[in-house]
Structure 1
Amino acid sequence: MSEQSEDQDLAARAAAGDQGAFRTLYRAHVRPVYWIAHGILRSPADAEDVTQETFVTAWRKLPGLQLKGESLLPWLATICRFQSANRLRQRRRDLAHTTDAASESLPGTVNVEEQVITTELAARIADEIGTLGELDREIFRLCAAEGYAYQEAADELGVTSAAVRNRLSRVRTQLRSTVQESRDA
Protein backbone atom coordinates (compact mmCIF):
# COMPACT_ATOMS: atom_id res chain seq x y z
CA MET A 1 0.00 0.00 0.00
CA SER A 2 1.43 3.43 -0.92
CA GLU A 3 1.94 6.09 1.75
CA GLN A 4 -0.80 8.21 0.18
CA SER A 5 -3.43 5.46 0.20
CA GLU A 6 -2.29 4.40 3.66
CA ASP A 7 -2.73 7.99 4.88
CA GLN A 8 -6.20 8.09 3.32
CA ASP A 9 -7.19 4.83 5.00
CA LEU A 10 -5.76 5.86 8.37
CA ALA A 11 -7.35 9.34 8.14
CA ALA A 12 -10.76 7.82 7.39
CA ARG A 13 -10.43 5.40 10.30
CA ALA A 14 -9.21 8.14 12.64
CA ALA A 15 -12.08 10.42 11.55
CA ALA A 16 -14.43 7.62 12.59
CA GLY A 17 -12.83 7.64 16.06
CA ASP A 18 -10.11 4.99 15.69
CA GLN A 19 -7.44 6.25 18.08
CA GLY A 20 -4.97 3.56 16.98
CA ALA A 21 -5.16 4.83 13.39
CA PHE A 22 -4.57 8.37 14.61
CA ARG A 23 -1.55 7.23 16.66
CA THR A 24 -0.14 5.63 13.50
CA LEU A 25 -0.63 8.90 11.58
CA TYR A 26 0.98 10.79 14.45
CA ARG A 27 4.05 8.52 14.45
CA ALA A 28 4.37 8.81 10.68
CA HIS A 29 4.24 12.61 10.58
CA VAL A 30 5.32 13.95 13.98
CA ARG A 31 8.96 14.57 13.04
CA PRO A 32 8.33 16.56 9.85
CA VAL A 33 5.66 18.62 11.67
CA TYR A 34 8.08 19.27 14.54
CA TRP A 35 10.82 20.45 12.17
CA ILE A 36 8.42 22.78 10.36
CA ALA A 37 7.44 24.32 13.72
CA HIS A 38 11.07 24.50 14.84
CA GLY A 39 12.07 26.22 11.59
CA ILE A 40 9.49 28.92 12.20
CA LEU A 41 9.77 29.32 15.97
CA ARG A 42 13.47 28.57 16.56
CA SER A 43 12.61 27.12 19.95
CA PRO A 44 12.52 23.39 20.74
CA ALA A 45 9.99 23.88 23.57
CA ASP A 46 7.64 25.99 21.44
CA ALA A 47 8.06 23.60 18.50
CA GLU A 48 7.04 20.68 20.74
CA ASP A 49 3.98 22.59 21.97
CA VAL A 50 2.96 23.60 18.45
CA THR A 51 3.45 20.04 17.21
CA GLN A 52 1.06 18.80 19.88
CA GLU A 53 -1.41 21.61 19.12
CA THR A 54 -1.21 20.69 15.43
CA PHE A 55 -2.19 17.10 16.09
CA VAL A 56 -4.97 18.09 18.54
CA THR A 57 -6.39 20.39 15.85
CA ALA A 58 -5.99 17.65 13.23
CA TRP A 59 -7.88 15.18 15.44
CA ARG A 60 -10.78 17.66 15.75
CA LYS A 61 -10.82 18.47 12.02
CA LEU A 62 -10.35 14.96 10.62
CA PRO A 63 -14.08 14.18 10.38
CA GLY A 64 -14.53 17.01 7.82
CA LEU A 65 -11.32 16.37 5.87
CA GLN A 66 -11.58 15.44 2.21
CA LEU A 67 -8.17 13.93 1.47
CA LYS A 68 -7.90 13.42 -2.28
CA GLY A 69 -4.95 11.29 -3.30
CA GLU A 70 -2.29 13.00 -1.23
CA SER A 71 -0.29 12.51 1.89
CA LEU A 72 -1.65 14.00 5.09
CA LEU A 73 1.61 15.93 5.55
CA PRO A 74 0.74 19.06 3.49
CA TRP A 75 -2.50 19.47 5.47
CA LEU A 76 -0.65 18.98 8.77
CA ALA A 77 2.04 21.45 7.63
CA THR A 78 -0.64 24.07 6.98
CA ILE A 79 -2.14 23.57 10.44
CA CYS A 80 1.38 23.73 11.91
CA ARG A 81 2.14 27.03 10.15
CA PHE A 82 -1.07 28.59 11.50
CA GLN A 83 -0.35 27.30 15.00
CA SER A 84 3.22 28.65 14.75
CA ALA A 85 1.99 32.07 13.63
CA ASN A 86 -0.41 32.09 16.59
CA ARG A 87 2.47 31.21 18.91
CA LEU A 88 4.58 34.08 17.52
CA ARG A 89 1.71 36.53 18.08
CA GLN A 90 1.28 35.22 21.62
CA ARG A 91 5.01 35.63 22.29
CA ARG A 92 4.85 39.26 21.10
CA ARG A 93 1.78 39.98 23.27
CA ASP A 94 3.43 38.38 26.30
CA LEU A 95 6.61 40.32 25.68
CA ALA A 96 4.71 43.60 25.28
CA HIS A 97 3.07 43.02 28.68
CA THR A 98 6.32 42.17 30.46
CA THR A 99 8.75 44.74 29.03
CA ASP A 100 8.71 48.11 27.37
CA ALA A 101 11.27 47.20 24.72
CA ALA A 102 10.45 44.91 21.81
CA SER A 103 12.68 41.91 21.50
CA GLU A 104 14.61 41.62 18.28
CA SER A 105 14.85 37.89 18.79
CA LEU A 106 11.19 37.45 17.85
CA PRO A 107 10.45 37.49 14.16
CA GLY A 108 7.87 40.11 13.22
CA THR A 109 6.42 37.98 10.46
CA VAL A 110 6.47 34.42 9.32
CA ASN A 111 8.77 33.92 6.32
CA VAL A 112 6.44 32.29 3.80
CA GLU A 113 9.27 31.33 1.45
CA GLU A 114 11.10 29.55 4.26
CA GLN A 115 7.87 27.76 5.24
CA VAL A 116 7.33 26.60 1.66
CA ILE A 117 10.91 25.32 1.47
CA THR A 118 10.55 23.57 4.84
CA THR A 119 7.23 22.03 3.82
CA GLU A 120 8.62 20.92 0.47
CA LEU A 121 11.64 19.37 2.17
CA ALA A 122 9.41 17.52 4.65
CA ALA A 123 7.29 16.26 1.74
CA ARG A 124 10.42 15.12 -0.17
CA ILE A 125 11.67 13.28 2.90
CA ALA A 126 8.25 11.65 3.36
CA ASP A 127 8.24 10.69 -0.33
CA GLU A 128 11.76 9.25 -0.01
CA ILE A 129 10.71 7.22 3.02
CA GLY A 130 7.80 5.95 0.95
CA THR A 131 10.24 4.50 -1.61
CA LEU A 132 11.96 2.36 1.02
CA GLY A 133 11.28 -1.32 1.32
CA GLU A 134 8.91 -2.38 4.08
CA LEU A 135 11.68 -3.58 6.43
CA ASP A 136 13.71 -0.37 5.97
CA ARG A 137 10.59 1.76 6.57
CA GLU A 138 9.85 -0.16 9.76
CA ILE A 139 13.44 0.14 10.96
CA PHE A 140 13.37 3.87 10.27
CA ARG A 141 10.01 4.27 12.03
CA LEU A 142 11.09 2.33 15.09
CA CYS A 143 14.58 3.81 15.48
CA ALA A 144 14.25 7.34 14.10
CA ALA A 145 10.62 8.16 14.86
CA GLU A 146 9.98 6.14 18.01
CA GLY A 147 13.47 6.10 19.52
CA TYR A 148 13.98 2.33 19.74
CA ALA A 149 17.52 1.11 20.36
CA TYR A 150 18.97 -1.15 17.66
CA GLN A 151 18.46 -4.32 19.72
CA GLU A 152 14.87 -3.40 20.61
CA ALA A 153 14.06 -2.78 16.95
CA ALA A 154 15.81 -6.01 15.97
CA ASP A 155 13.77 -7.98 18.52
CA GLU A 156 10.57 -6.35 17.31
CA LEU A 157 11.30 -7.11 13.66
CA GLY A 158 12.96 -10.51 14.05
CA VAL A 159 16.31 -9.48 12.55
CA THR A 160 19.79 -8.99 13.96
CA SER A 161 20.94 -5.83 15.64
CA ALA A 162 23.67 -5.51 12.99
CA ALA A 163 21.04 -5.63 10.23
CA VAL A 164 19.12 -2.83 11.91
CA ARG A 165 22.27 -0.73 12.33
CA ASN A 166 23.43 -1.26 8.73
CA ARG A 167 20.01 -0.69 7.16
CA LEU A 168 19.37 2.41 9.26
CA SER A 169 22.76 3.81 8.29
CA ARG A 170 21.93 3.27 4.61
CA VAL A 171 18.49 4.90 5.02
CA ARG A 172 19.98 7.92 6.80
CA THR A 173 22.57 8.32 4.02
CA GLN A 174 19.78 8.18 1.44
CA LEU A 175 17.75 10.80 3.35
CA ARG A 176 20.81 13.05 3.77
CA SER A 177 21.26 12.91 -0.03
CA THR A 178 17.64 13.95 -0.48
CA VAL A 179 18.09 16.86 1.93
CA GLN A 180 21.33 17.91 0.22
CA GLU A 181 19.69 17.77 -3.23
CA SER A 182 16.90 20.01 -1.89
CA ARG A 183 19.41 22.54 -0.59
CA ASP A 184 21.36 22.50 -3.85
CA ALA A 185 18.23 22.94 -5.98
Structure 2
Amino acid sequence: MPTRPDIHAIDPDARLNLLRDALQAAAGGDRQAFETVYRMTSAKMFGICLRLLGQRADAEDVLQEAYVSIWNKAASFDPTYASPITWMAMITRNKVIDRLRRQRSEGPLDTVERLDELVAPAAFGASFEFRGERRRLDSCMERLEDAQRQLIEVAFFEGRSYAELAEHRGIPLGTVKSWIRRSLARLKGCLGL
Protein backbone atom coordinates (compact mmCIF):
# COMPACT_ATOMS: atom_id res chain seq x y z
CA MET A 1 0.00 0.00 0.00
CA PRO A 2 1.47 3.41 -0.95
CA THR A 3 2.19 5.81 1.89
CA ARG A 4 0.48 9.16 2.06
CA PRO A 5 2.69 12.23 1.79
CA ASP A 6 3.01 14.34 4.92
CA ILE A 7 0.74 17.22 3.93
CA HIS A 8 2.28 19.45 6.58
CA ALA A 9 5.75 19.10 5.03
CA ILE A 10 4.62 20.49 1.66
CA ASP A 11 5.52 24.11 0.87
CA PRO A 12 2.59 26.56 1.28
CA ASP A 13 1.96 27.11 -2.46
CA ALA A 14 1.96 23.38 -3.24
CA ARG A 15 -0.25 22.81 -0.20
CA LEU A 16 -2.76 25.41 -1.43
CA ASN A 17 -2.78 23.82 -4.89
CA LEU A 18 -3.24 20.35 -3.40
CA LEU A 19 -6.15 21.55 -1.26
CA ARG A 20 -7.78 23.40 -4.17
CA ASP A 21 -7.44 20.34 -6.43
CA ALA A 22 -8.72 17.98 -3.74
CA LEU A 23 -11.76 20.16 -3.06
CA GLN A 24 -12.57 20.32 -6.77
CA ALA A 25 -12.17 16.53 -7.07
CA ALA A 26 -14.46 16.08 -4.06
CA ALA A 27 -17.05 18.13 -5.94
CA GLY A 28 -17.06 15.31 -8.49
CA GLY A 29 -17.72 12.75 -5.76
CA ASP A 30 -14.14 11.66 -5.10
CA ARG A 31 -14.24 10.46 -1.47
CA GLN A 32 -10.48 10.00 -1.27
CA ALA A 33 -9.98 13.62 -2.33
CA PHE A 34 -12.46 14.68 0.35
CA GLU A 35 -10.47 12.71 2.91
CA THR A 36 -7.45 14.77 1.86
CA VAL A 37 -9.47 17.98 2.29
CA TYR A 38 -10.49 16.84 5.76
CA ARG A 39 -6.94 15.88 6.81
CA MET A 40 -5.60 19.21 5.59
CA THR A 41 -8.23 21.45 7.17
CA SER A 42 -10.04 19.77 10.06
CA ALA A 43 -7.72 21.11 12.76
CA LYS A 44 -8.28 24.70 11.57
CA MET A 45 -12.06 24.23 11.25
CA PHE A 46 -12.23 22.53 14.65
CA GLY A 47 -10.33 25.47 16.14
CA ILE A 48 -12.95 27.87 14.77
CA CYS A 49 -15.77 25.74 16.21
CA LEU A 50 -14.13 25.32 19.60
CA ARG A 51 -13.15 28.98 19.94
CA LEU A 52 -16.66 30.17 19.13
CA LEU A 53 -18.68 27.50 20.93
CA GLY A 54 -16.44 26.89 23.92
CA GLN A 55 -17.60 23.30 24.43
CA ARG A 56 -15.66 20.43 22.87
CA ALA A 57 -18.75 18.24 22.31
CA ASP A 58 -20.62 21.08 20.58
CA ALA A 59 -17.54 21.89 18.49
CA GLU A 60 -17.23 18.26 17.37
CA ASP A 61 -20.92 18.12 16.40
CA VAL A 62 -20.74 21.36 14.46
CA LEU A 63 -17.52 20.30 12.77
CA GLN A 64 -19.27 17.20 11.46
CA GLU A 65 -22.20 19.31 10.22
CA ALA A 66 -19.76 21.69 8.53
CA TYR A 67 -17.98 18.90 6.64
CA VAL A 68 -21.27 17.39 5.49
CA SER A 69 -22.16 20.82 4.13
CA ILE A 70 -18.71 21.24 2.56
CA TRP A 71 -19.12 17.86 0.83
CA ASN A 72 -22.59 18.81 -0.43
CA LYS A 73 -21.53 22.29 -1.59
CA ALA A 74 -18.09 21.43 -2.98
CA ALA A 75 -19.29 21.99 -6.54
CA SER A 76 -20.07 25.64 -5.68
CA PHE A 77 -16.48 26.37 -4.61
CA ASP A 78 -14.89 28.88 -6.99
CA PRO A 79 -11.11 29.30 -6.50
CA THR A 80 -11.12 32.61 -8.38
CA TYR A 81 -13.14 34.28 -5.61
CA ALA A 82 -11.90 32.70 -2.38
CA SER A 83 -9.24 30.39 -1.06
CA PRO A 84 -10.42 26.94 -0.01
CA ILE A 85 -9.78 27.78 3.67
CA THR A 86 -11.76 31.03 3.46
CA TRP A 87 -14.67 29.28 1.74
CA MET A 88 -14.67 26.42 4.24
CA ALA A 89 -14.32 28.80 7.20
CA MET A 90 -17.42 30.68 6.03
CA ILE A 91 -19.42 27.46 5.91
CA THR A 92 -18.09 26.45 9.32
CA ARG A 93 -18.92 29.84 10.85
CA ASN A 94 -22.43 29.64 9.45
CA LYS A 95 -22.87 26.23 11.10
CA VAL A 96 -21.60 27.67 14.40
CA ILE A 97 -24.09 30.53 14.10
CA ASP A 98 -26.89 28.03 13.43
CA ARG A 99 -25.92 26.15 16.58
CA LEU A 100 -25.75 29.33 18.65
CA ARG A 101 -29.18 30.37 17.40
CA ARG A 102 -30.60 27.02 18.46
CA GLN A 103 -28.94 27.44 21.86
CA ARG A 104 -30.18 31.03 22.08
CA SER A 105 -33.75 29.81 22.12
CA GLU A 106 -32.77 27.84 25.23
CA GLY A 107 -31.62 31.13 26.71
CA PRO A 108 -28.16 31.08 28.30
CA LEU A 109 -26.79 34.63 28.46
CA ASP A 110 -23.26 33.76 27.40
CA THR A 111 -24.62 32.12 24.22
CA VAL A 112 -26.63 35.25 23.38
CA GLU A 113 -23.54 37.41 23.85
CA ARG A 114 -21.44 35.11 21.66
CA LEU A 115 -24.14 35.13 18.98
CA ASP A 116 -24.26 38.93 19.01
CA GLU A 117 -20.48 39.01 18.57
CA LEU A 118 -20.64 36.67 15.58
CA VAL A 119 -23.75 37.57 13.66
CA ALA A 120 -22.85 41.01 12.37
CA PRO A 121 -19.62 40.08 10.54
CA ALA A 122 -20.82 36.62 9.51
CA ALA A 123 -24.25 37.69 8.28
CA PHE A 124 -22.59 40.54 6.42
CA GLY A 125 -20.09 38.21 4.76
CA ALA A 126 -22.64 35.51 3.94
CA SER A 127 -24.24 37.73 1.31
CA PHE A 128 -20.98 37.74 -0.69
CA GLU A 129 -20.95 34.10 -1.72
CA PHE A 130 -22.17 35.06 -5.18
CA ARG A 131 -19.92 35.41 -8.19
CA GLY A 132 -18.39 38.84 -8.68
CA GLU A 133 -19.35 40.24 -5.29
CA ARG A 134 -15.95 39.48 -3.81
CA ARG A 135 -14.31 42.14 -5.97
CA ARG A 136 -16.83 44.75 -4.84
CA LEU A 137 -16.26 43.78 -1.22
CA ASP A 138 -12.47 44.00 -1.65
CA SER A 139 -12.81 47.45 -3.21
CA CYS A 140 -14.97 48.67 -0.32
CA MET A 141 -12.65 47.10 2.25
CA GLU A 142 -9.77 49.12 0.75
CA ARG A 143 -11.64 52.30 1.72
CA LEU A 144 -11.50 51.44 5.43
CA GLU A 145 -8.64 52.57 7.63
CA ASP A 146 -6.02 49.85 8.12
CA ALA A 147 -6.87 49.15 11.77
CA GLN A 148 -10.61 48.82 11.10
CA ARG A 149 -10.06 46.70 8.00
CA GLN A 150 -7.80 44.35 9.93
CA LEU A 151 -10.37 44.00 12.73
CA ILE A 152 -13.10 43.10 10.22
CA GLU A 153 -10.84 40.59 8.47
CA VAL A 154 -9.75 38.89 11.70
CA ALA A 155 -13.29 38.86 13.14
CA PHE A 156 -14.72 37.35 9.97
CA PHE A 157 -12.02 35.07 8.59
CA GLU A 158 -10.54 33.86 11.87
CA GLY A 159 -13.72 33.83 13.91
CA ARG A 160 -12.37 36.03 16.71
CA SER A 161 -14.77 37.54 19.22
CA TYR A 162 -14.77 41.22 20.18
CA ALA A 163 -13.11 40.37 23.50
CA GLU A 164 -10.33 38.39 21.77
CA LEU A 165 -9.72 41.24 19.33
CA ALA A 166 -9.57 43.79 22.15
CA GLU A 167 -7.11 41.69 24.14
CA HIS A 168 -4.94 40.83 21.15
CA ARG A 169 -4.78 44.42 19.87
CA GLY A 170 -4.61 46.09 23.28
CA ILE A 171 -7.67 48.19 22.46
CA PRO A 172 -10.62 48.74 24.85
CA LEU A 173 -13.55 46.40 24.18
CA GLY A 174 -15.97 49.29 23.57
CA THR A 175 -13.62 50.76 20.97
CA VAL A 176 -13.37 47.44 19.13
CA LYS A 177 -17.17 47.11 19.07
CA SER A 178 -17.70 50.63 17.78
CA TRP A 179 -14.97 50.35 15.15
CA ILE A 180 -16.46 47.13 13.83
CA ARG A 181 -20.03 48.49 13.85
CA ARG A 182 -18.97 51.70 12.08
CA SER A 183 -16.86 49.76 9.59
CA LEU A 184 -19.72 47.39 8.80
CA ALA A 185 -22.04 50.37 8.32
CA ARG A 186 -19.51 51.98 5.94
CA LEU A 187 -19.14 48.72 4.02
CA LYS A 188 -22.90 48.31 3.73
CA GLY A 189 -23.20 51.88 2.47
CA CYS A 190 -20.40 51.36 -0.04
CA LEU A 191 -22.03 48.17 -1.28
CA GLY A 192 -25.51 49.66 -1.38
CA LEU A 193 -26.96 47.15 1.10
**Fold-level similarity (TM above 0.5):** yes
Unaligned runs of 5+ in 2: 1-12, 122-150, 161-167, 171-193
Please, which of 41, 65, 70 is the counterpart of residue 29 of structure 1?
A: 41
What is the CA distance between 1:116 and its match in structure 2? Answer: 2.8
SS at match of 2:109: coil
Change (3 A) 1:117 1:103: closer
Whole-angstrom CA distance in 1 between matches of 2:153 and 2:50: 11
Change (3 A) 1:110 1:49: farther
Question: Does structure 1 residue 107 correspond to structure 2 residue 145?
Answer: no
TM-score normalised by L of structure 2: 0.53
Whole-angstrom CA distance in 2 between matches of 1:69 and 1:5: 15
What is the CA distance between 1:5 and its match in structure 2? Answer: 1.3
Question: Residue by residue, what CA displacement relative to the aligned partner does 1:78-102 show, whole Å, maximum 9, x if unpaired?
Answer: 0011111100010122x1xxxxxx4
Q: Which residue in the other structure is 1:142 paired with?
A: none
- Contact 2:19 2:40 (8 Å CA) reproduced: no
Please, which of 90, 93, 97 is the counterpart of residue 81 of structure 1?
A: 93
- Residue type of the partner of 1:31? A
Whole-angstrom CA distance in 2 between matches of 1:81 and 1:38: 11
Change (3 A) 1:81 1:115: farther
Whole-angstrom CA distance in 2 between matches of 1:9 and 1:41: 30
Does 1 or 2 have the higher relative contact order (CA < 8 Å, sep 6+)? 1
Unaligned runs of 5+ in 1: 96-101, 123-182
What is the CA distance between 1:115 and its match in structure 2? Answer: 8.2
SS at match of 1:66: coil
Question: Does structure 1 residue 116 correspond to structure 2 residue 182?
Answer: no
Whole-angstrom CA distance in 1 between matches of 2:68 and 2:44: 16
State the identity %: 29
* Cα RMSD, aligned residues only: 2.8
What is the CA distance between 1:30 and its match in structure 2? Answer: 0.3
- Residue type of the partner of 1:104? L
Q: Which residue in the other structure is 1:175 paired with?
A: none
Whole-angstrom CA distance in 2 between matches of 1:83 and 1:107: 16
Q: Which residue in the other structure is 2:60 paired with?
A: 48
Question: Residue by residue, what CA displacement relative to the aligned partner does 1:126-175 show, whole Å, maximum 9, x if unpaired?
Answer: xxxxxxxxxxxxxxxxxxxxxxxxxxxxxxxxxxxxxxxxxxxxxxxxxx
- Contact 1:85 1:110 (8 Å CA) reproduced: no
What is the CA distance between 1:43 and its match in structure 2? Answer: 1.1
TM-score normalised by L of structure 1: 0.55
- Residue type of the partner of 1:110? E
Whole-angstrom CA distance in 1 between matches of 2:40 and 2:94: 21
Change (3 A) 1:184 1:92: closer
